[in-house]
Amino acid sequence: MRDQLNSSWDRFRGLADEKKEALSSALSIQNYHLECNETKSWIKEKTKVIESTQSLGNDLAGVMALQRKLAGMERDLEAIQGKLDDLKREEEKLAAEHPEQEAAILSRLSEIDGVWGDLRDTLKRREESLGEASKLQGFLRDLDDFQSWLSRTQTAIASEGAATSLADAEKLLAQHENIKKEIDNYRPDYERMRGLGEEVTQDQTDAQYMFLHQRLQALDTGWNELSQMWENRHNLLAQVYGYQIFLRDVKQAEGFLNNQAYLLSHTEMAGTLELAEAAIKKHEDIMTTMEANEERINSVVDSGKKLMSEGNVNTDKIQDKVDSIDKRHRGNRKTADDLAGRLKDNLELQKFLQDCQELTLWINEKMLTAQDMSYDEARNLHTKWQKHQAFMAELASNKEWLDKIDKDGKQLISEKPDTEPIVEEKLGDLQQLWDELESTTKTKAQCLFDANRTELFTQSCADLDLWLDELDAQLQSDDHGKDLTSVSILLKKQQILENQMQVREKELEGLKNQAQALGQEDANVVEVDAKQGRVQERFQELLRPVKERRSNLMASKEGHQFNRDLEDEILWVNERLPLATSTDHGNNLPTVQLLIKKNQTLEKEIQGHQPRIDDIGERGETLAVAGRVDSEILRARLGDLQETWRDLKEETDHRDRRLQESQKAQQFYFDAAEAEAWMGEQELHMMSEERAKDEPSAMAMVKKHQVVEQSLEDYAQTIHQLSNLSRNLLTNSHPESDRITLRQSQVDKLYAGLKDLAEERREKLQERLRLCQLKREVDDLEQWIAEREIVAGSHELGQDYEHVTMLRDKFREFARDTSSIGQERVDSVNRLADEQIDLGHPENATIAEWKDGLNEAWADLLELIDTRTQMLAASYELHSFYHDARDTLDRVQEKEKQLPEEMGRDLNTVERMDRMHTTYEHDIQALSAQVKQVQDDAAHLRSAYAGEKAEDIQRHEDNVVEAWNALLAASRGRKQLISDSVEKFRFFNLVRALMLWMDDVNRQMDAQEKPRDVSSADLTIKNHQGIKSEIDARNDSFTASIEMGNALLDKNHHASDEISEKLSQLQERRKEINDKWKDKEDWLQLVMEVLQFGRDASVAEAWLASQEPYVRAGEVGSSVDDAENLIKRHEGFEKAAAAWDERFSALEKLTTLEQQEIQRKREEEERKAIPPSPPTPRVSVTTEDGLESASPSGQNQVTRDGDLVNHLEVIAQNGVHPDTESQLVSDASEAADGTGPESRKENVPALKTPQPSPRPRLDSSQLTKAQDAATVQLEGILCRKHEWESHSKKASSRSWQNVYCVLRNRSLGFYKDSKNAASGIPYHGEVPVSLTDAVCEVAHDYKKRRSVFKLRLSEGKEFLFQAKDEAEMNSWIDLVGRSISTSQEDRHAITPQGLTRAMTMPPISPNSGETVTLRRDKDGKEKDREKRFSFFKKK
């Protein structure tokens, strides 16, 4: 039993294990399928996300964002790839465990592989397209930026202002040059963009690429235009700058000219000689200033002409300025010359006046002497006589003064005629004063002579003898001077003696006169004559010796002067000869140069003195030839002079050559000394032990040494030139060749040693620089590592998602930059250190120490970076969940707030809202993935965190789920409400469309023209039947609308009241339109019968009128043949009359109108038979026509009857006489009213036996009005503009339109053309406007067009009409005004009896009478016509 129990238990356990394994296997399979479904859904979702980005990326920012998004998606794909690997392993395991389900298991994975492949292909294609799009968008952004810059630059160039001053011109030119620099800086960008654009658009035929190609062409055009604009603007600015400089110079020149003009205009003619001379001097200063400024003024003029020749934009202004400056300059020059001439003339005049004044003063002074009458006493009489003789001699000698002034005055008058008055006056005064002086002197002389004539004569002769003895003694002297000074003194004494002889000669003439006077008075005439003759003879004998002595003195002076000049020249030559023969050649270069200058000065003096030596030689030869001196001695002295002169010149030339050689040697020594000094300075610099402390100082020292080396290399040319100079001196056998050679060798050795020192110092400086550079690299890198360690060692993990994201991204970038840049820098420093160690640098130990410390710091930094990366990753994961949860919650709440409460006021709005809600639903569906992602992240984080963190995670998840569920519920409610609103507005639109259609049908029935004849009535009935067809065609729409409304009411729609109201209105309006159509149909049938009766009656009347002469004829025939013919004719008449019986019978039938009249009378008789009841009050309305309306139906009936009556004139136009039509229509109208005449049967006998009876007739004025109303008064094409729709509303369309206007029946109709007017088709369906209470006048307030008049209607409408000319406008205004007046008169006139109560068959005989009516011919003129009345009116 136990064994059995144990076996049963074992079997049970085995079965349970098998069941468990089966269930586990089934669970594994189900989990596999579930994971496959989830993975497939995940892959499809990612595919949709990738595909959803197709419409994005329209700009560079979008493309870059998508690229980052796809980069993040690649990380998701890596997770999917891991999931697929797990599924593949699970698939292999399950396929091995369940061979029977292997196909299903493999198929699921193959489906996932297919979807996975599609996802990767989609991602790859999208990445490729984004790469190209990124490149293209980048290019487009650069292109937009470049075009924007191009446009801004073009605008900047085009908007540069015009310079108004030189500073502005300089500023604008500088700004323009800066723009050029900017353009040059952008040129590489343009060329790069142009090449990239050609690459992008090459072999592309798409429209977008073609547009891009056009943009590139526009870019080329813009670039070229920019360059051209810059050049043009630069030329313009340069021209403006030149113009401003020209204006500045012009301003200065104008200042000069203004100053000159002021000075010239304010220079006055002086009144004295001193002022005149001062004015001349001042004017000379002005002229000097003008000459100094003339060059500047000419330069201004030349610059202006140059600007004009270059085509300056301000050529006209420059020309004006140049002409003005040139004209003013020439004017100032001419004014100055004129003023100088006037000043010189004034100076000459003042000199003349001064001379005149001095002479006048002298004459006045002498006049006092001449007027001295103190000679009455006898004593001293002879002395006074002698004094007076001297006074007279003085007067005689000064006579030349007067003559000179007179000569100068006459010359002044001849040269300056304008000075003639004042000069003549002065000369006259002087001559008068002189004459008075001479007269006074002669009078005094005569008085003195008369006082003691004999004594005076004897004394005078004695004095002359004494003087002649003295003179003879002087002339006997042989002293002709021992030297030049004594000769000059003797010549002066000789001149005095000759002057005295001239005075004595005049005294002799006085003695001669006195002798003659004494001879007449005294008897001792012989003695007087003898004395006078003896004195005269001695005086004449002494004249020749005086001349000889002068000649001897002059010859002596010439000889002494020659000797003096010869001695001076010899002395001058002897003085210069030591300078020329000097051996002092200088010890240095400045001394030599000074000696050369002195020698050159001496040569110039010798050259300048050569003419004097030549003149001395010529004078010596002349004296030798003349024999005045000893020729041998003279020629010997001249020879000595010439020989000394030649020696001086030769010595001067020799000294110049010696000085030149000395200068060359001293120049060499000087250059060599300078070279040695410079190289000595450089040698001290090369031997310096200064060491750089850091890299900048080391670099500076290296650069400085490079400069020194370069200067040393450059100095090689100086050394070479010095060497060439020494070789040239040696070649020319210079006296100091040995010294020069020694000095040159010293310079060469010093230069070679200096180059070696420079090479050594360069090596030392390079080693120091490399060490400093390595030190700087190590210090910088250690500092950089220390700064990075501070960042890497930070414990800041972020306060929120943005913060931690920023920290993570920055730290990732930091780590990436640190790893890449730092490793590269560390490697670079290690490499430099190794190189220095390998090269055996003196500081090897220090370099190795620097290297080890750097590598240790770098390893510590990398370790810190790894630690902080892990900490930030964990913090980012937590804050990312919080951020996603809050973001998802905000988006869900934002979407919930975006649900609008407004439902829209029409169908379009509601349908738009429906579409927006559909889009909204699609948008919120995208949130479902975020909500699920939040839930998954929360589950993952709850497993990693505990405590408050876990509770916080759970709280965020719950908030998101609750908000999501609330959003879904609100969206579904909104969707239902929008659907109901769509149905409601669709129903309203159908109802509105039907209502509008019924309004249009109602207008069509109201706008139908009144039938004028049978054909028009038939056409109107057909049109009315067409309206009925249209009404019937709309039955389906009515049915659908009613069914839709009922359906909405059955659904208990939220707008059931509005729907019910609209449905009721639709049904009522439909019933009204059907009733109106039926009433109009009945009315048209009545009118048709009346018109048919009138037509048939007219035809019958015409036949009766044609047969009436035959019936009334009394001829019975005069013979058998005639009688037989008459019988046959009568038989034919009877047959014809029998054929007309049927027509007359038809005319006797009652029309519908008459039948209605009979029925009305019968009902009236029945009512009369009923006992009368108390009357009930009834409100009646009297219309304008005097008719009383008791009810709306009665009013409608009256309206229709009025329409029949008003139809009189229309029918009259179509061939039926107005009287006939009035009778017919009146019968129909009265029958409709129930107040007509007797029935037609009662009038039938009148047809057979017509009796003449009186007939009411219209008078002439009423007949004319009726005829005018029935015809077209005026018609033609006018240009119309609708101004006002009502008194307070302007027309919506106020454009001018050409319309065909027809004025008739006190109304104005509008048609497209005359054809439509004849057919009765109005323009755009417009009803003819009534002219009742209208106003027509000229539009004086409208000035835009001519021949315009306006028509203002009573309801407020206003039209403008333009005629082709004034005459046509006046015709329209006249006829429209008459029509308006007629309508106003007819409204108040009493309706004629014959038009309202006409009989059916008027009892008037055909021959009873005639009446005259009016008609119009083609020209519109009225003609009289005769109308015969009979039983039936003529047609």
Would the pLDDT of 284 be above 90?
no
Per residue in 1153-1163, pLDDT tens? 778 788 888 88
pLDDT at res. 1363: 93
> Is a pLDDT exceeding 50 seen at residue 1401?
no
Closest CA to 568 of 605, 612, 534: 612
Distance CA 139, CA 213 (A): 13
Do 635 and 620 contact (CB within 8 A), yes or no? yes
Q: Which residue from 408, 428, 267 is spatially nearest to 343, judged by alpha carbons?
A: 267
Q: Which residue, 174, 187, 194, 289, is CA-closest to 238?
A: 174
Q: Rounded distance, CA 715 to CA 751, Å?
A: 9
In a 10 Å sphere around its CB, with 0-12 CB exposed, 13-18 middle and 19+ buried, how is residue 1421 labelled?
A: exposed
Q: Name the one residue in this structure whose structure tokens are 């000049």.
A: 565
List pLDDT tens digits, range 187-205: 888 888 778 777 777 766 7
Compute, in degrees rounded to 10, the torsion defined by CA atoms 514, 518, 524, 530: 20
Q: Between helices 737-792 and 801-817, what is the axis angle to 10°? A: 140
Location of structure tokens 């139906």: 1193
pLDDT of the residue at 925: 81
Cα(136)–Cα(209) distance, integer angstroms: 11
**Res 70: pLDDT:** 63
Cα–Cα dist 1076/1080, whole Å: 6
Distance CA 822, CA 782 (A): 10
- DSSP letter at 282? H
Supply 325's token pair.
């400056």
Cβ–Cβ under 8 Å, residues 1409 and 1253: no
Q: Is 401 within 8 Å of 354 (Cβ atoms)?
A: no
pLDDT for res 386: 66
The H-assigned helical ranges of 945-1055 are 948-1007, 1014-1033, 1035-1050
Q: How would DSSP label each residue in 562-611?
A: HHHHHHHHHHHHHHHHHHHT-----SSHHHHHHHHHHHHHHHHHHHHHHH
Q: What are phi and psi of 1103, to 5 degrees?
A: -65, -45
pLDDT in tens, 363-390: 888 777 777 665 444 445 666 766 777 7
Decide which of 904 and 598 is more confident: 598
* Position 1177 confidence tier, pLDDT thresholds 50, 70, 90: very low
- Of the listed ranges 161-165, 287-291, 1090-1094, the least confidently predicted one is 161-165
Convert the pLDDT of each residue in 507-563 to its tens digit: 777 666 666 666 655 545 566 667 667 777 777 777 777 777 777 777 777 777 777
- The whole-number pLDDT of residue 520 equals 56
Residues 697-748 pLDDT 10s? 888 788 888 888 888 888 888 888 888 888 887 887 777 778 888 888 888 8
Q: Identify the band that residue 1121 occupies on the pLDDT scale cut at 50, 70 and 90.
A: confident
DSSP state of 1313: S
Strands 1422-1428 and 1348-1352: unpaired
User: Which band of pLDDT confidence, cut at 50, 70 and 90, is reported for residue 2?
Assistant: confident
Of these ranges, 283-297, 1229-1243, 1304-1318, the one predicted with the greatest mean pLDDT is 1304-1318
**Neighbour count for residue 553 (Cβ, 10 Å):** 20
> What proportion of the chain, given as a percentage, has pLDDT over 70?
80
3-class DSSP state of 319: helix
Q: How confident is the model at residue 1425 (pLDDT cuts 50, 70, 90)?
A: very low
pLDDT of 13 higher than 60: yes
Cα separation, 236 vs 230, in Å, equals: 10
Mean pLDDT within 327-331: 86
Q: Compute the distance between CA of residue 277 and CA of residue 1416 in angstroms, rounded to an integer.
A: 116
CA distance 421 to 961: 132
For the stretch 632-684, pLDDT in tens is 777 777 788 788 888 888 888 888 888 888 878 878 888 888 888 888 877 77
Q: Is the pLDDT of residue 953 over 90?
A: no
Tokens of 326: 């040139």
Q: Which of 856, 875, 851, 861 is nearest to 817 (CA)?
A: 861
What is the pLDDT confidence band of residue 434, given thresholds at 50, 70 and 90? confident
CA distance 1378 to 1375: 5
Q: What are the tens digits of pLDDT across the range 823-846?
A: 888 888 888 888 878 877 777 788
The b-or-e profile of 732-763 (16+ CB within 10 A means b, else e) is eebebeeebeebbeebeebbeebeebbeebbe
**Over residues 270-277, mean pLDDT:** 78
- Estimate to the nearest angstrom the gap between the alpha carbon of 476 and the chain centroid: 112
The predicted structure's pLDDT at residue 1427: 36
Q: Is the pLDDT of residue 1369 over 60?
A: yes
Please name every residue paired with 1188 in a beta bridge, in sequence order, or none if there are none. Answer: 1182
Rounded distance between C-alpha atoms, residue 297 and residue 284, angstroms: 19
Query: What CA–CA distance (Å, rounded) separates 735 from 732?
Result: 9
> Which pair of tokens denotes residue 873?
């990753």
Number of Cα atoms under 13 Å in the Cβ half of residue 1312: 8
Average of per-residue pLDDT across 319-331? 86
User: How many whole angstroms separate alpha carbon 1207 and alpha carbon 74?
Assistant: 90
Rounded to whole angstroms, the Cα distance separating 306 from 312 reads: 9
CB 1059 within 8 A of CB 989: no
- Tell me if 924 sits within 8 A of 964, measured CB to CB: no
Any idea what DSSP says for residue 1290? B
Tokens of 152: 């801004």
Per-residue pLDDT tens over the stretch 1065-1087:
888 988 898 998 988 888 888 88
Helices (H) and strands (E) in the chain, counts: 35, 11
Please state the φ and ψ torsions of residue 1069, each to the nearest 5 degrees. Answer: -65, -35
How would you list the strands of the sheet with 1307-1311, edge to edge?
Answer: 1329-1330, 1307-1311, 1297-1304, 1272-1284, 1358-1362, 1348-1352, 1335-1338
**Average pLDDT along the chain:** 75
Phi, psi of 1311 (to 5 degrees): -135, 165
Cα separation, 1381 vs 1375, whole angstroms:
10
Short-list 361, 521, 375, CA closest to 444? 375
Instruction: Looking at mean pLDDT, say which of 78-92, 970-984, 1031-1045, 1381-1395 comes out highest.
Output: 1031-1045
Rg (CA), the chain: 73
Q: pLDDT, tens digit, for every residue of 1178-1191?
A: 333 333 333 333 33
| Residue 469 reports pLDDT greater than 80 | no
Q: How sure is the predictor about 1278, in pLDDT bands with cuts at 50, 70 and 90?
A: very high
Burial of 434 (0-12, 13-18, 19+ CB in 10 A): buried
Using DSSP's 3-state secondary structure scheme, residue 1335 falls into strand
Is 169 in contact with 242 (CB distance < 8 Å)? no
Fill in the DSSP letter of residue 162. Answer: P
The answer to whether the beta carbons of residues 1031 and 1076 sit under 8 Å apart is no
At 1298 the pLDDT is 92
DSSP 785-852: HHHHHHHHT-----SSHHHHHHHHHHHHHHHHHIIIIIHHHHHHHHHHHHHHHHTT-TTHHHHHHHHH
pLDDT at 1279: 93
What are the tokens at 1075?
Answer: 């009733």
Q: What is the pLDDT of residues 741-756, one digit of tens each?
A: 888 888 888 888 888 8
Average pLDDT for residues 556-576, to the nearest whole number? Answer: 78
Inter-residue contact 563 to 634 (CB < 8 Å):
no
Cα dihedral across residues 194, 200, 205, 207: positive or negative: negative
Residue 1281 has phi, psi (to 5 degrees) of -135, 120
Give the pLDDT mean for 51-70. Answer: 57
Find the range with the poorest average confidence among 63-77, 958-972, 1209-1223: 1209-1223
pLDDT at 164 over 60: yes
Amino acid letter, 733? S
Model confidence at 1211: pLDDT above 60 = no
Model confidence at 480, pLDDT cuts 50, 70, 90, reads low
pLDDT of residue 55: 54
In this structure, the dihedral spanned by the alpha carbons of residues 393, 398, 399 and 404, taken in order and rounded to 10 degrees, is 160
Q: For the ranges 134-143, 323-332, 1098-1107, which has the lowest average pLDDT?
A: 134-143
| 190-199, 471-480, 539-548, 1366-1375: segment of lowest average pLDDT | 471-480
